[in-house]
Structure formats: C-alpha cells, structure tokens
Chain A
C-alpha cells in the first residue's frame, strides 16, 4: 500500500497544506487500541470549520487507548494524482489509511456531499458497499443533521448515531474496544448486534423496507429482535456538564470559519416551518455564561486566535446576550480579541449588539427575512414583519451602516409571483429608508435568494418542491425586478437544489443511483463547477428512478415516510398541524416565551429547555417558577442562576401571538 504524498505531488496541487497536517493542537497517538477516523466529506478548509468534529476529536482523544484522527476529501487535482500513483487516502495525524482504522466516521452535513463519502472510502482502501466489507475492514459510522434521513446511504454505512455525540460516541467506542478485546466474537455482525443496543444507534441492515404499488413506503420493520422499531436521537441534557474543546487544532491556512467558535446553546425554539435544524436540534439548551467565559479564555490562550464567534442557531436569542457580550468585550479588549456574531435577529436589539461587537468598522449588516411578503413570512412562521425589518435597518443606518444584505428563499410552499416580487420591493423599501434617514442615496442592498428545499421533520416535509423550470422562472422574475441601482441580486444554481431535494427526502432505492453516479465520476456535488446535473439525471434514469417522485410530489397526509423509524422526537401530529397552519397563514409562537406548542421533544427525550434568563429554577425544588413579569419587576431578568422550563407545565410570561 502506497501512502506517501511525495514532494512532486504536493508541489503540483493547490493548497498542499490541506494534506500534510501537523497543525498546532493536533493530537498524535502512535499507539492506540482503537482508532477512529473522523472523516469530513469535503475539502480541508470546509471540514476544519465544522464544530461537531472539533468537539468529538478532543473528547475521543481524552479516552485511554482510543485515538481520533482527521481525514478530508482530497480536491480533484490531488485525487487525480493519488489515483494515477495508487496512493491511499490517510488520516492527517499518524497517516493511517482509512482501511487501517477501526472505524471511519462521516458527518452528514449536506446531501450533496454523499458522493464524496463513497469516493473517500474508495480512496482510503475501504469497500464502498457495507455488504462487501470484509472482517478486517473498518466499520463506517455516520452522524450529523442528515442522519435523520440517511436512507439513500443505507447501502454504504454500517451504523449511524442519531443526535449529539458527546455521550453516544464514547459509548460506541467503548463497546467496540470491548468487542475487540474479546477477540471480535461473532465477527462484524456480532459487533452490530452489540452496538445496536446503545440508545441512538441505527443499523440499516437490521431493517427491511417494503413498498406500496405507488412506490411509497409501506413499512420499515426490524428483521432482528435486537433492533428497536424506532431509534430516538441522543441529546446531552446539560451542556455545562460535557466537555467543550479548549485547545482546538489551529490550522496553518485560512479555513472557512477561521476563528474561535464558542457554542452558546443548542436548539432553537422559533419554529420556522422550513427549518430542519430548528426541529432536529431541539430542545433549546443554553450554556451558562460563566462556563462560556472560561472556555473562551482557555481557547484564546491555547489558539492565539484574534476573534471569537458566538455560535448557535440564533445567537441573538441567547437569554443573557446583552450583559454577556459586555463582559466578553471587556475581558478581551486588551488582548486584541474581537467578538462576533454569525447572524442577527431582525430587531433594534440586534443592531445594538452589532454596534457593540463591530465597534467602529462598518461593513455590511445581514438580515434574513426569508420571504418577501408578509403572507409568506406568516406561512413559514418567520414571525417578523416588514415594520420589524425597517425598524432594524433604520437603527443600522442611524448608526452609520450603509450596506445591508438580505437573505430570502424562493419556492416556498404556496408562493405566488406576487410573493416573489415582494422580495425586490422589500429591498427597495430598505433603500428608501436609508434615504429618509440619511437624506442621501447610495444604500447598497444585496438580495440573496436560495431555492427552498423541503426537508424531513419539518412542517413542509409533505410539500412539493418547485420544478427546475419554476425555479428558473422565479429567478428570472427577480433578476428583472432587481435590475436597480445599488441592488445586487445573488441566487443559487437551481439544479443543485433539485438534487439536494431528491436526496433529502429520498429512500434506500436511491443508493443505486448514488453508487452509479459516483462510479461515473460524480463527487464534490456541492461545488457548482464540478456538479453535473445531466449525469445525475442519467444515473437516476438508469436505475429506474424518477426524481420528480422524490422532489415534486405532494405527499399524502397519511403517507409513511422512509425516515420515520429515525426519530428526532418531534411529533408527526405537531408537524402536520404546523403544515395546516402554514396553509392558513397562522403563526405559532416561540415556546420559550409562552405555552408549550406540543412538538413533543422535551417530553419524549425527558430533557427540558434550559434558558438562563427568563425563569429561575431552584434545583432543590421540583418546580418553582418565577414568571418573566415578576423577574422583570425585580430588575433581575438575567440572574445567572439555574433556570429551566419544565416540560408539560403551563408557561408564564409574554406570548408572541
């Protein structure tokens, strides 16, 4: 086996530092009983920016006798050289071929990275199909957000871990260690029968899928008593009690997110109906401010980074963001470390926050109204009005900002041309607001419109996706409507959205097309310059599959979905009701501020929402709510004491409705 990337190979490719490792903070364990490759199915700069693997890398490497190493997809230039010279894909640390590892773990971040998984396995000397993997080969395990419908990859991976990995992955690795020490009883099958007993573990080969005549799913049933009928995701109940990396790997080159990523909380309770992350990462669990500050200090010491990004699905919703930011800025001012937020909420508070973190630099502000018309924003439960947006941009313009970027989606369920054109009108209104406030023209507005892709476990999982023709037509409408001074229109390639849609709600039968497309040269499908739509269409056709069946079909109310045995613990009834409310343009308020909406997550997981601001909770008592109003009256709505919302109890405080 040839594993060496020689001088002439490295000299011939772009960004050779992608392949050589040795970064500060990387962990080398030459001797290890169990070795797992954390394999990211995209290039180094993308994979190195992924927080999930940063967390797992450090967590696993703290375990005795177990090593976690990193592997990334070689870019096309390097792949070509590797194939020409028969060089195997290895981990960056101890240069183990993927085939020499005990486990290879892939994260499923994005449907269009699936071909890279097949390609990396092949380059790493691992059999691509799980059924063909020999006794000496590694187990292929997957996780990440798309794991709630990994069915198109069911032929490829051996097992999956649903939900958060901090507790589940060490359990799986210890299970493997035990099995290996005992001399691998029962072979590969033996291990799978063991590991499936760990909550959150899904073994696709333990389930049989049957289909109806109309090609929809009839049932997904376990074929062994060891496999549960449904697998429910794992979550960490209290994020303050799990390890967060304090000395992450510091890359040499610039990666996509080249800064400290401080994870403020997980989950989002806003309930936007298009949002996959908003459903599958529930419930909201915040880290305590003092825990976050301690992590931040250690990370600055250990990395030398100049910027801390406060990350989460919606950082402006962190309950104590105001005081927390003030403390962070004060803490790090003298050390020349800046604090930033990846996204802003559409309100004046967020502009205030932006003012604090950006100090004097006035680059653009970005807001995401998601839809142009109020009607559509109500359909998607965005809970933001035009007034909110104009209020927010007014605050921004009053504070000196001159550039605004607005994110939208087109192709949302029930969208009319009027709704599409409202996007351009909203951009114009932002420009008028600028003129009104500053008395000048010249406000730069960038309008970015992506094409909506319905995802599993969202209210829109039943909805048809726009056809390619329809996407192009709507994009055309906006191109025309935004042909205005100082408005820039950005949009995404519709073809990739269609393929993303096929795989997002796909089933096991797609595995054949995936394999065929990869064999015919597909990889890096998320990269528009490499993606080949026609080749995908041909592969689907050659496998007797109709892409429209997956993407453009209105699914029946009672239809069994291919992913229902894999549970993020959101009730189907809740989602169905949300879909109905969407059609009636009725809003559902944020459960953090009001009543439980019955999504079912807290109750089914037995894990409450953790929010440090609104309510205080005394651990010694079962329930002792202090309402938001009472707390406010006490002038102390940000006490850093434990505050949790117990599921199933009547909530108090304001309601957004």
Chain B
C-alpha cells in the first residue's frame, strides 16, 4: 500500500531548499510513526518521494509526497498523525491510498497553476495581450552551472496564456504551466521573458511566486486532480 499526501510549502518555510524539504518530510513521517517501508541492505532508506522539485523561495499548495508502507493503515488516521508531526508551514491538504505498484506520482503530473505577485505597478496590459496572441515566444535559458550553455525554449509551449490584475502597489499574474516528461519551465523565467521580450522592468528578484495547484491532464486536455482524495481540507 502507498499513501499519497498533498501537502503545502507555505510562506514561513518558502526558503528551505528542496533537499531540506525532503528531509523534513522524512523526519515528520518518522515522528508520526507511520509504518514506512524501508529498502533492504546495510543502510536502509525509507521509501518515500516527492512528486516534483520546487524552486527555493516558491510557496506551494500542491506538493505531493508518496510513501510506501510496510503494513496497511487507515489513511485518514495516518494523515492526522502526519499533520501533527509537521512544522509550521507544512500542512496536509489531502490523502489518497493506492496499490504499491501504482505508477509514481511524478509521471502523471501534466500541469501547474501559478500566481505571481510583484511589487510593481507599470503598464503590463499590452505585454500580456501580445504574449497571449503570439505564436511563439522564445526564451534563452542559461544552464545553472555552465554560464555559456544556453538552451532556447518556446515559452508558449508551456504557458499558453496569462492574466494580470493591477492593484494599488502590486501586480498579480496568473497562469498555467505545462509539465511534460522532459520537464517544465520555471515561473521566474516567465517574468524574465516578459522583461526581455516586451521591455518590462519587473523586479524579478522581488516576485512572490506561489504554486496554487498541480494536476493531471488527459488526452482531451482536461485537468484532473492528482489525488482521488479521501480527505480534503483548506
């Protein structure tokens, strides 16, 4: 039996790295005393994984952890115990139980929904219009370690359209981003694209990025929740 939890990475802990987040989840599972399965060998590892790696600084309401169990448990009771063992900034939003041989969660994610709030109030409407109408919008993505390596990506392949709301002292962007087996693109790179292609001066480093959801996408393009939830909150 495998348990799948939808959990959060909220404001308080947005700056812990993915690795730190993964370790934190592992320790919480141990504190919750869930009957986790362990790998064989001299150095046994708990069999759990996260569905996707989130950038440091990004808030998320849709992180998914999958835990293989050594013995079956009541998923609702497990979720409750898990919740109590989590630090501030991580909550359990949903839980689901599947067969041990069910495909890994990561392989089913098809898209993510983002909200980005920027302390900036310039004119963004025309850039959004142009972006939404464009066939392709190319972005040169630099490899993180080798500066000279540049990969060209079509932003429109990942993000077909976006919307913007202007407030008194900030601008809020809203969009969906496609996830494929070969990867996805970072929300922050959309902002870099807007700056480069449309001459905006969004203060990218001050952007408050939130992943609102992660979902499956079927052949017809319909969106489905990642979990067939047995329990849901918030």
Q: Which residues of A contact B (CB under 8 A)?
A: 6-8, 10-12, 15-17, 19-24, 250, 252-254, 301-306, 336, 359-361
Shortest CB distance A208–B (Å): 49
CA distance in complex: A304, B118 (Å)? 38
User: Could you say which residues of chain A place their CB within 8 Å of the CB of B24?
Assistant: 24, 250, 252
Q: Are A253 and B26 within 8 A (Cβ)? A: no
Q: Are B203 and A8 within 8 A (Cβ)? A: yes
Q: Are B57 and A22 within 8 A (Cβ)? A: no
Q: Are A11 and B20 within 8 A (Cβ)? A: no
A-B contact pairs, 12 of them (CB 8 A): A7-B206, A8-B205, A10-B57, A17-B16, A17-B20, A22-B89, A24-B24, A252-B24, A253-B16, A253-B23, A303-B31, A304-B29
Q: From B60-68, B80-88, B143-151, B179-187, give the one contacting chain A.
A: B80-88
CA distance in complex: A11, B204 (Å)? 11
Residue of B nearest to A10 (CB): B15
Q: From B38-46, B93-101, B104-112, B189-197, give the one contacting chain A.
A: B38-46
User: Count of B residues near A, CB < 8 Å?
Assistant: 34
Q: Are B207 and A22 within 8 A (Cβ)? A: no
CA distance in complex: A640, B86 (Å)? 38
Q: At the interface, yes or no: B13 with Cβ under 8 Å from chain A?
A: yes
Q: Are B17 and A253 within 8 A (Cβ)? A: yes
Q: In the complex, which of the residues B17, B44, B88 contacts A22, with contact meaning CB atoms closer than 8 Å?
A: B88
User: Could you say which residues of chain B place their CB within 8 Å of the CB of A301?
Assistant: 31, 33
CA distance in complex: A336, B70 (Å)? 14
Shortest CB distance A328–B (Å): 17
Q: Are A252 and B21 within 8 A (Cβ)? A: yes
User: Could you say which residues of chain B place their CB within 8 Å of the CB of A23?
Assistant: 87
Q: Are A11 and B57 within 8 A (Cβ)? A: yes
CA distance in complex: A219, B112 (Å)? 73
Shortest CB distance A70–B (Å): 15
Q: Are A252 and B13 within 8 A (Cβ)? A: yes
CA distance in complex: A304, B21 (Å)? 14
User: Could you say which residues of chain B place their CB within 8 Å of the CB of A24?
Assistant: 24, 27-28, 31, 85-87
- Contacts A22-B89, A252-B20, A304-B28 known; A361 to B43 CB distance under 8 Å? yes
Q: At the interface, yes or no: B56 with Cβ under 8 Å from chain A?
A: yes
Where chain A touches its partner, the secondary structure class is: loop
CA distance in complex: A23, B208 (Å)? 22
Q: At the interface, yes or no: B30 with Cβ under 8 Å from chain A?
A: yes
Q: Which 9 A-B pairs have CB atoms at the shortest separation, nearest pair first?
A: A304-B27, A304-B30, A16-B15, A24-B87, A8-B205, A252-B20, A304-B31, A252-B16, A17-B16
Q: Are A11 and B85 within 8 A (Cβ)? A: no
User: Could you say which residues of chain B place their CB within 8 Å of the CB of A303?
Assistant: 27, 31
Shortest CB distance A401–B (Å): 15
Q: Are B205 and A250 within 8 A (Cβ)? A: no
Max chain B C-beta neighbours (<10 A), residue from A8, A22, A250, A361: A22
- Contacts A7-B206, A7-B207 known; A20 to B13 CB distance under 8 Å? yes
Q: Are A22 and B13 within 8 A (Cβ)? A: yes
Q: At the interface, yes or no: B12 with Cβ under 8 Å from chain A?
A: yes
User: Could you say which residues of chain A place their CB within 8 Å of the CB of B43?
Assistant: 361
Q: In the complex, which of the residues B16, B28, B205 contacts A11, with contact meaning CB atoms closer than 8 Å?
A: B205
Q: Which residues of B contact A (CB under 8 A)?
A: 12-13, 15-17, 19-21, 23-24, 26-31, 33, 38, 42-44, 46, 56-57, 85-89, 203, 205-208
Q: Are A7 and B57 within 8 A (Cβ)? A: yes
User: Could you say which residues of chain A place their CB within 8 Å of the CB of B12?
Assistant: 20-22
User: Could you say which residues of chain B place their CB within 8 Å of the CB of A336?
Assistant: 38, 44, 46
CA distance in complex: A442, B37 (Å)? 38
Q: In the complex, which of the residues B20, B85, B208 contacts A304, with contact meaning CB atoms closer than 8 Å?
A: B85
Q: Are A8 and B206 within 8 A (Cβ)? A: yes
User: Could you say which residues of chain A place their CB within 8 Å of the CB of B16?
Assistant: 17, 20, 252-253
Q: Are A20 and B86 within 8 A (Cβ)? A: no
Residue of B nearest to A300 (CB): B30
CA distance in complex: A304, B20 (Å)? 14
User: Could you say which residues of chain A place their CB within 8 Å of the CB of B38?
Assistant: 336
CA distance in complex: A596, B36 (Å)? 53
Q: Are A7 and B89 within 8 A (Cβ)? A: no
Q: Are A16 and B56 within 8 A (Cβ)? A: yes
Shortest CB distance B87–A (Å): 4
User: Could you say which residues of chain B place their CB within 8 Å of the CB of A359?
Assistant: 42
Q: Are A360 and B42 within 8 A (Cβ)? A: yes
Shortest CB distance B37–A (Å): 11
Q: In the complex, which of the residues B20, B23, B31, B208 contacts A302, with contact meaning CB atoms closer than 8 Å?
A: B31
Residue of A nearest to B27 (CB): A304
CA distance in complex: A8, B118 (Å)? 11
User: Could you say which residues of chain B place their CB within 8 Å of the CB of A252?
Assistant: 13, 16, 20-21, 23-24, 87
User: Could you say which residues of chain B place their CB within 8 Å of the CB of A15?
Assistant: 17
CA distance in complex: A19, B13 (Å)? 10
CA distance in complex: A303, B33 (Å)? 11
Q: Are A304 and B26 within 8 A (Cβ)? A: yes
Residue of B nearest to A335 (CB): B30
CA distance in complex: A23, B19 (Å)? 15
Q: Are B85 and A20 within 8 A (Cβ)? A: no
User: Could you say which residues of chain A place their CB within 8 Å of the CB of B203?
Assistant: 8
Shortest CB distance A395–B (Å): 21
CA distance in complex: A250, B28 (Å)? 10
Residue of B nearest to A306 (CB): B30
User: Could you say which residues of chain A place their CB within 8 Å of the CB of B87?
Assistant: 22-24, 250, 252
Residue of A nearest to B206 (CB): A8
CA distance in complex: A185, B65 (Å)? 57
User: Could you say which residues of chain A place their CB within 8 Å of the CB of B26?
Assistant: 304
User: Could you say which residues of chain A place their CB within 8 Å of the CB of B13?
Assistant: 17, 20, 22, 252
